Amino acid sequence: MKLKVISCDDNRKWYADKIGESFPLIRIGDRECYVSTHDSYNTGNFISNCDFEVEYEEKESNSTPS
């Protein structure tokens, strides 16, 4: 599951310039979620719950329609 940044109410937050980008979810919290930031140090950071939408990964199916 990934979180897509859709807004940011504070230009001091790390994701203020990342609107439209998606990040892998690591942990869900009450007011914010922790994501992998894809940086060179493989770190994580928080995104406020009001600033993202959830992107579900579609599973590939090996079956063919009949």
Q: For each successive 10 residues of the chain (66 residues), what is the average pLDDT?
A: 96 97 96 92 94 85 60
Sequence ranges of the domains in the chain: 2-55
pLDDT at 29: 95
The structure's pTM equals 0.80
Query: Can you list the positions of beta strands (E) in the chain?
Result: 2-5, 22-28, 32-36, 44-48, 52-55
pLDDT at position 66 is 55
- pLDDT confidence of residue 57: 77
Q: What per-residue confidence (pLDDT) applies to 58?
A: 75
Token pair 């009001």 is found at: 50
